[in-house]
Amino acid sequence: MVPNLLIEEATSIDPQEEMRRDREQLLSELQRIRDDRTEIERRRDDLIRRARQLQARTQNMRNQARDMWKKRYFEEKKLTTPLEDQANRLRDELESYHKRMVSTMTSRVKEGKNIDTPDATQQLNLRIQATRMQHEIEELQRRVDDSKMKLTAEVKLRTQAEAELRAMKAELTQRKLNLSMTRTQQMGHQMVS
């Protein structure tokens, strides 16, 4: 019977030994969980860093594109003024030619030059009126075109301003989110410590 006792003693584990093994097992599992958590936090921090880099790169590209378009806009605006001045000067010159032509025709009618019959006078008067009307129509058409062009420019500027406002609001929202995430992370790190 003595050998049976030895077998029972060998198979039965001391309760303190069992608690020690359980404790070691729990400690090793706790260490593994801590290591996993540290790895996950490191990965999360890496992802946040990469997301911020991508966001900064995107914002930089957006700013460069906006600056490029603004630069082009102002260059074209500088070119527009001299061209408008030249167009106005040419328009004034055309108008003065037109007035001279009308005054020449009118003076011929008054002087009676090259007029053989009353029908010729009436025809000349009709031509003068037609020329005046055509000139007035062209002037009105030019004004309408100028107004349309100005309206289009104003609409484009308004649309651009609205788009920039939306972009700024989105950027503000993103920065608020980043700030709250940073605060949450800081509070989380303080709780762990």
pLDDT of residue 61: 92
Q: What long-range pairs does 163-169 form, CB within 8 A, spacing at least 24?
A: 164/66, 167/62
DSSP assignment string, 54-87:
HHHHHHHHHHHHHHHHHHHHHHHHHHHHHHHHHH
* Bigger pLDDT: 125 vs 8: 125
pLDDT digits (tens, 9 = 90+) for 35-93: 999 999 999 999 999 999 999 999 999 999 989 988 998 898 888 889 888 988 988 89
> CA 180 from chain center: how many Å?
25
pLDDT of residue 2: 46
Kindly state the tokens that stand for 3.
């050998």
pLDDT of residue 100: 85
Helix axes 118-192, 15-111, angle to 10 degrees: 170
pLDDT digits (tens, 9 = 90+) for 179-188: 888 888 888 7
Name the residue ranges covered by the structural domains of the chain. 17-113
What are φ and ψ of residue 13, in 5° steps? -105, 145
pLDDT of residue 139: 86
